[in-house]
Amino acid sequence: MESSSSKPKVEEYMTEEVVTVTPDDTVGDVIDLMMQGEGHSGFPVVNEDAVEGNGELRGFVTAKRLLGRDELERIGDVMATNLIVAEPDMRVDDAARVILRSGIQKLPVVDDEGVLVGIISNSDVIRSQIERATPGKVWKLMRTLESIHDTELREERREVPIDELVPTQDKIYADELDGRSYELKRGLAEPIIVVERGNALVLVDGHHRAIAANRLDIEKMDAYVIVVDDDIDELGLEKTAKQSGLSTLEDVDVVDYARHPLIEATRYETEPDSEGI
């Protein structure tokens, strides 16, 4: 599979020139800034002596936070301080998962010192997904399977029936499943990756997408299909599925009793408060 080093990083897609405010700005100041027609619905809050906005991240203020507030109130008294952030070398895929699971629109990007270096939005994430070279992942998987089974494979791009897929992953996360459903409804989902041997369609990549499609009564899904022509009795992928008791998508457990640990790994707290950006 594709190495993490070849995945697009947040620093490649984030906006570096970020409009910021400070804790000493007033509610009225920020409302005026929002009314300037630049499409801003919120701003990172950085320390007062920040240079060109790239200071230490102190919080985030949204339009919702300003409702009903006195225009003379300090932003430092109304801003959210329990934030979810990204780091420059974080994979865009991971940032996308955080955005979808959290229901937020923007992730501030901070360095190891907590200094704001950019911001990545849901539109940036969509742009990265469109530009991603998924065929490279397919090619590397093909080369791996050819080496393991000493055979030659070919790849096709076509739709496959969802109810015939044999999963190879025994659990998925409910919050990510919601995110993939969101993508599918808006036509943003990438193809799944399937290995075909005879009548068997083994799902290799895209379990959340496939199960989301199944729940939305989508019968077929776009896929990269790696075709095994030779008379191979059984793929290692199929053996793994059998050992895990997997034969249909219904056998995959949906973990809904806990959030994905990635959320906690990217949370940035300055004070015990919480706000969706």
Per-residue pLDDT tens digits for 180-229: 887 788 776 788 999 999 889 999 988 999 999 999 999 999 999 999 97
Helices (H) and strands (E) in the chain, counts: 10, 13
54 and 108 in a single domain? The answer is yes
Parent domain of 123: 4-129
* Nearest of 87, 114, 83, 253 to residue 174 by alpha carbon: 253
Query: In this structure, is residue 241 part of a structural domain?
Result: yes
131 SS3 class = helix
CATH of the domain at 69: 3.10.580.10
Query: In this structure, is residue 228 part of a structural domain?
Result: yes
109 and 169 in a single domain? The answer is no
**pTM, entire model:** 0.52
46 SS3 class = strand
34 and 78 in a single domain? The answer is yes
Alpha helices, H only, 153-235 = 174-185, 207-215
Query: In this structure, is residue 155 part of a structural domain?
Result: yes
The mean of the pLDDT values for the chain is 83
237 and 146 in a single domain? The answer is yes
Decide which of 129, 158, 187 is a domain's last residue.
129
Q: What is the tally of structural domains in the chain?
A: 2
Residue 231: is it exposed, middle or buried by C-beta count within 10 angstroms (0-12/13-18/19+)?
A: exposed
- 36-91: pLDDT as tens digits: 866 677 899 998 776 665 789 999 999 989 999 999 999 999 999 988 899 999 98
116 and 144 in a single domain? The answer is no
